[in-house]
């Protein structure tokens, strides 16, 4: 696989996702970082978006609910380089009927090399990084070279 450099803008597009038992945790985390998050563009799976918007007043664009395809929508946006950061508080103590979608989302975030935080501590580190508010250059798969190599 060949790679190339891509640039994440100064204002980041951040996806927020939480499984049901983790929604209160994500909501608390969003309140803690409200002043920072209000300057970013926020997206979330359906129920997570409703909870965050209602409990924090932050503007969040809702996608579909996770089990109905929301994780896949977020994955598609990551693959199209339309999202810069993934905050995904998945529940390590519950099994999910849409576990394949959860795995696929984490996999595609790794493929496209975007920062991922899966718990509040790592999300604290990520959101307070100076890189969050700077343009950030990072390595992504070179899709054109990949296509040419398959002709």
Ligand X SMILES: O=C(CO)COP(=O)(O)O
Task: Kindly state whether residue 66 participates in binding ligand X, applying the rule CB under 6 A.
Answer: yes
Catalytic residue among 20, 35, 71, 142: 71
68 or 140: CB nearest ligand X: 68
Residues 6+ apart with CB under 8 A from 127: 33, 36, 37
Extract the annotated binding site for substrate: 19, 23, 45-48, 65-66, 98
Residues 68-107 binding ligand X (CB under 6 A) are: 70-71, 98, 102
Instruction: Please select the residue that binds ligand X; options are 27, 45, 56, 73, rule is CB under 6 A.
Output: 45
| Structure-token pair, residue 8 | 């994440």
x-marked contacts with ligand X along 2-41 as a string, rule CB under 6 A: ---------------x-x----------------------
Instruction: Give yes or no for a contact between 122 and 91, defined as CB atoms under 8 angstroms apart.
Output: no
What span, in angstroms and rounded, lies between the C-alpha atoms of 31 and 24? Answer: 11
Residues with Cβ within 8 Å of 42's Cβ and at least 6 positions away in sequence, in order, are 14, 16, 52, 58, 59, 60, 61
**Residue 45 and residue 83: Cα distance in Å, rounded?**
13
User: Would you say 27 or 47 has its CB closer to ligand X?
Assistant: 47
Q: Which residues bind ligand X (CB under 6 A)?
A: 17, 19, 45-48, 65-67, 70-71, 98, 102
- The catalytic site residues sit at 71
């Amino acid at each position: 696989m060949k790679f190339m450099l891509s640039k994440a803008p100064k204002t980041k597009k951040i996806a927020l996702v939480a499984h049901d038992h983790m929604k209160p945790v994500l909501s608390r985390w969003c309140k803690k970082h409200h002043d920072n998050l209000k300057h970013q563009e926020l997206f979330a799976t359906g129920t997570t978006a409703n909870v965050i918007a209602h409990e924090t007043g932050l503007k969040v664009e809702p996608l579909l609910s996770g089990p109905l395809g929301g994780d896949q929508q977020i994955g598609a946006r990551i693959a199209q380089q339309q999202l810069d950061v993934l905050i995904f508080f998945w529940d390590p103590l519950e099994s999910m009927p849409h576990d394949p979608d959860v795995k696929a989302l984490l996999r595609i975030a790794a493929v496209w090399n975007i920062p991922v935080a899966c718990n509040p501590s790592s999300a604290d580190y990520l959101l307070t990084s100076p890189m969050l508010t700077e343009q950030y250059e990072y390595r992504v798969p070179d899709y054109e070279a990949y296509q040419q190599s398959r002709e």
